[in-house]
Amino acid sequence: MRKFFLTVFMLTLFILSLKAQEEVQGEAAPETKGFFSTISWFAQGTILFFPEHNGMASDPMPVLPSLGAGASYPFTKIFRTELTLDFYMTHYGYALGRAVPNAIENRSSLVIGSLLAFQAAAYFNVNSFMTIRVYGGPAADLRIVVVAEDLNSYDMEDAQRQTDAVRNYFWSSGRWFMPVMGAGMDFTLNPRVKLGIDMRVWAPVYRLWTGEDLPAIEGWRFGPGVRLSF
């Protein structure tokens, strides 16, 4: 867990260093405007909700903290393209012929998820203080699945079997593909920094072709969060 948050922290520092470098270059040569100088960067924190309706076969809905970062490139004053990456960690098992969430005490597999999205965005300035954003585009949940940590030795064989099944389930039939849509509001703190609130939804479009008889809410993701742009 500490390695995970250290990685995210280092990623944020890297983005900040790129931004600082562009600002220094811009001061040294104000007449030139490079590609990176037009990009705005942001860090975001999200609470992810994975709704489940699997009866007694899985534990309650995972509610997960997530850290991420992104970049936004303007094509016009309104339209932009954005690239985002968000990280999360949770536990899963295998039941009912599919991967289902597990509470930590019932864990079999540790899932390290990376939500990667490439989205089109529209920015609407309400006034000098507030901006409204709407966005959407293709996204993927790139999941690393390993045997959960600190299991008893007699649980390892079953845990390995479930982990292999969970990994195969997530990476087969395009179950990693889930487009994202969302909306947010930014509030100007100073000329360089904005604080925003967001609501994102990831849609399990793979259900259109897998043919599974799943609960209606299965596979959806919801993510309210905050965003700091600079």
Give the pLDDT confidence of 55-86 residue by residue, as tens digits: 665 667 889 999 999 999 999 999 999 999 99
Asked whether 110 and 103 are in contact (CB, 8 A), the reply is no
* Range(s) of the domain holding residue 142: 43-229
Note the Cα 229 to chain centre separation in Å: 17
Q: Is 15 within the bounds of a domain?
A: no
When divided into structural domains, the chain yields a total of 1
Other C-beta atoms closer than 10 Å to the C-beta of 138 total 13
What is the pTM (predicted TM-score) of this model?
0.82
Q: Is a pLDDT exceeding 70 seen at residue 23? A: no
Contacts of 189 (CB under 8 A, 6+ apart): 195
Q: Is 3 within the bounds of a domain?
A: no
Asked whether 185 and 131 are in contact (CB, 8 A), the reply is yes
Q: Is 23 within the bounds of a domain?
A: no
- The mean pLDDT of 27-50, rounded to a whole number, is 77
Q: Is 219 within the bounds of a domain?
A: yes
Q: Is 185 within the bounds of a domain?
A: yes
Q: Is 57 within the bounds of a domain?
A: yes
Q: Is 220 within the bounds of a domain?
A: yes
Tell me which of 79-83, 100-104, 163-167 is least confident.
Answer: 100-104
Please report, for the domain that includes residue 70, its CATH number: 2.40.160.20
Q: Is 63 within the bounds of a domain?
A: yes
